[in-house]
């Protein structure tokens, strides 16, 4: 269906807006003189005459180029591309003939700087590896773009990517002992530290040492405290054990040395910008283990723990330490059972630590004589919060932990991260006994506590 054409709209009277014919001189409705020129509307701009009454000068006419006409052959006019026309920048200078974006000078001696802005580093996805510049000595390349240099603040100068810190995730394996530490999923840094080592006793038999420390987050520079304590305790054990010091006495002395190392931090100006006079002195907890001959020695201050897990999982596992914490005190005093105490929000408030503001240093040590093979798990609360009971720890750790300590430590850290990773996680796994060459494992049996040179466990 076609549409009929509409008639041309009639004009209207400027006064009453009634329709009028094109030849009318007066409006038939109101009598308005249609030949009169109407006044301009108020909303339109007006031209102000000059002071002498003359009309203002008109703007010069623009000489627009006329389009070329077609010749008799009907050939179209030639097409001009933008690049065919000369141009200048906003300052009046001629535009460059070519622009580079890869930061590589086009000719020898040509600068890669355009004006006041340095061109970005090359994209490693499009540039051959041999074309990437070698970073100057003492600097690092970004782990993300592999092109920019890492600034002193830990960020890439090219892509701005934050670089992982060395302590965010650490792994170490040393013969019969291994340890893994991870920042976790909620903390902005890793405040845990560990040290593992081996030493020969005076008779030549090997001994294995592991130290795990957890920085107190409410204190100043907790990451420095845990690192200083772990190193000092390990070095003290490596000096005393070869001299013939009894392992339990050596562990006690090592904890004292570690406490002194943390105390020194309170006397030094803090290297971290967060240091303030109103904050607590640097502090950390410590737990350590020594496997020497048929002895298993543990020592601790704070709430980091050590667990015994036998290779024969039908035998019971055991927790070898007692926390220096509010919850442990409530249980020991008979005021709460263990479930009630650890459900309280004050449960993890520690009552013992290494630091200048500690009430009194009371190193705890204990000596055991396991008569079956197994492993010792030395860890911070970042792990045992997700496997608190000894039975839970035994279920989490792989069955071949004695033969693959590093893999077992990785599995335990992964268990904590899968559970939420609310804290830093550090764990060391020590097989017991240290596997001697050409000898069988000890016969199966239980775990018995023995008396050391300082008497029973302290």
**Model pLDDT for residues 228-240, shown as the tens digit of each residue:** 999 999 999 999 9
pLDDT for 103 beyond 50: no
Biggest distance spanned by C-alpha atoms of the chain? 133
d(CA 274, CA 224): 13
Residue 411 has pLDDT above 80, yes or no: yes
Examine the pLDDT at 59 and tell me if it is beyond 80: no
Band (165; pLDDT cuts 50, 70, 90): confident
Beta-sheet strands, E only, within 323-403: 354-355, 364-370, 374-379
Exposure string for 177-194, b = 16+ CB within 10 A, e = fewer: bbbbbbbbeebebbbbbb
State the pLDDT at residue 452: 34
Residue 248 scores a pLDDT above 80: yes
For the chain, give the mean pLDDT: 79
Q: What is the pLDDT of residue 54?
A: 60
pLDDT for 141 equals: 77
* Nearest of 371, 432, 431 to residue 404 by alpha carbon: 431
Give the pLDDT mean for 279-285: 91
Please count the other Cβ atoms lying within 10 Å of the Cβ belonging to residue 84.
8
| Gap between the Cα atoms of 422 and 30, Å rounded | 88
pLDDT beyond 80 at 276: no
Q: Please check whether residue 248 is in contact with residue 297, taking contact to mean a CB–CB distance below 8 angstroms.
A: yes
pLDDT of 95 > 60? The answer is no
Q: How confident is the model at residue 157 (pLDDT cuts 50, 70, 90)?
A: confident
Residue 74 pLDDT exceeds 70: no
pLDDT in the model for residue 162: 76
Q: Which residues of 246-265 are buried (b: 16+ CB within 10 A; e: fewer)?
A: bbbebbbbbbebbbbbbbeb
Is residue 385 within 8 A of residue 416, CB to CB? The reply is yes
Across 359-374, average pLDDT: 93
pLDDT-derived band at 63 (thresholds 50, 70, 90) equals low
> Residue 273 pLDDT more than 60?
no
Q: Looking at 211-325, list the stretches that DSSP marks H as alpha helix, in order from N- to C-terminal side.
A: 222-240, 247-267
Q: Is the pLDDT of residue 444 over 50?
A: no
Distances (CA, A) of 80 to 64, 84, 147, 235: 17, 6, 41, 81
Q: What is the mean pLDDT of residues 26-42?
A: 70
- 382 pLDDT band, cuts 50/70/90, is very high
Q: Cα-Cα-Cα-Cα dihedral of 250, 256, 258, 262, to 10°?
A: 180
How confident is the model over 299-321, as pLDDT tens digits?
999 999 999 999 999 999 999 99
Mean pLDDT, rounded, for 365-380: 96
C-alpha closest to that of 263 among 355, 363, 357, 358: 355
Cα–Cα distances in Å, from 261 out to 327, 353, 363? Answer: 28, 13, 15
Retrieve residue 454's tokens.
Answer: 């300082």
369 against 97, higher pLDDT: 369
Taking residues 339-357, what's their average pLDDT?
90
Q: Is 289 left (phi over 0), alpha (psi -120 to 50) or beta?
A: beta
- CB neighbours of residue 45 within 10 Å: 6
Considering only residues 446 and 188, tell me which one the structure prediction assigns the higher pLDDT: 188
Residue 166: its pLDDT value, please? 83
* Cis previous bond, 433, omega within 30: yes
Position 152 scores a pLDDT of 75
pTM, entire model: 0.64
**Confidence at residue 209, expressed as pLDDT on a 0 to 100 scale:** 97
């Amino acid at each position: 269906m076609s549409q009929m054409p509409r008639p041309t709209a009639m004009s209207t009277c400027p006064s009453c807006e009634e329709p009028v014919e094109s030849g009318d001189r007066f409006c038939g409705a109101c009598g308005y003189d249609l030949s009169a020129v109407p006044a301009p509307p108020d909303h339109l701009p007006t031209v102000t005459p000059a002071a002498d009454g003359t009309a203002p000068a008109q703007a010069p006419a623009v000489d627009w180029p006329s389009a070329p006409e077609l010749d008799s052959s009907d050939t179209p006019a030639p097409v001009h591309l933008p690049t065919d026309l000369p141009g200048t920048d906003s300052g009046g200078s001629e535009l460059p003939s070519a622009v580079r974006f890869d930061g590589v000078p086009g000719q020898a001696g040509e600068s890669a700087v355009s004006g006041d802005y340095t061109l970005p580093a090359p994209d490693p996805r499009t540039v051959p590896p041999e074309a990437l510049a070698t970073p100057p000595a003492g600097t690092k390349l970004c782990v993300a773009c592999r092109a920019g240099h890492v600034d002193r603040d830990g960020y890439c100068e090219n892509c701005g990517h934050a670089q992982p810190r060395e302590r965010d995730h650490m792994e170490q394996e040393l013969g019969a002992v291994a340890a893994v530490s991870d920042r976790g999923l909620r903390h902005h840094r890793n405040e845990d530290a560990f040290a593992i080592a081996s030493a020969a006793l005076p008779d030549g038999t090997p001994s294995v040492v592991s130290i795990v420390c957890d920085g107190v987050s409410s204190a100043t520079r907790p990451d420095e405290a845990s690192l200083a304590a772990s190193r000092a305790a390990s070095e003290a054990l490596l000096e005393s054990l070869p001299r013939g010091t009894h392992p339990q006495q050596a562990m006690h002395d090592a904890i004292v040395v570690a406490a002194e190392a943390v105390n020194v931090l309170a006397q030094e100006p803090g290297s971290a910008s967060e240091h303030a006079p109103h904050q607590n002195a640097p502090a950390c907890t410590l737990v350590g283990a020594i496997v020497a001959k048929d002895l298993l020695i543990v020592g601790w201050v704070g709430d980091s723990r050590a667990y015994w897990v036998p290779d024969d999982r039908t035998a019971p596992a055991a927790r070898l330490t007692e926390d220096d914490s509010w919850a442990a005190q409530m249980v020991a005093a008979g005021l709460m059972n263990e479930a009630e105490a650890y459900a309280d929000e004050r449960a993890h408030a520690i009552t013992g630590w290494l630091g200048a503001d500690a009430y009194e240093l009371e190193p705890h040590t204990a000596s055991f004589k396991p008569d079956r093979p197994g492993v010792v798990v030395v860890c911070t609360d970042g792990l045992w919060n997700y496997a608190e009971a000894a039975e839970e720890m035994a279920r989490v750790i792989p069955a071949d932990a004695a033969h693959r300590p590093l893999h077992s430590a990785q599995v335990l850290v992964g268990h904590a991260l899968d559970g939420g990773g609310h804290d830093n996680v550090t764990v060391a796994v020590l097989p017991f006994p240290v596997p001697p060459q050409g000898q069988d494992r000890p016969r199966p049996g239980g775990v018995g506590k023995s008396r050391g040179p300082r008497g029973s466990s302290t």
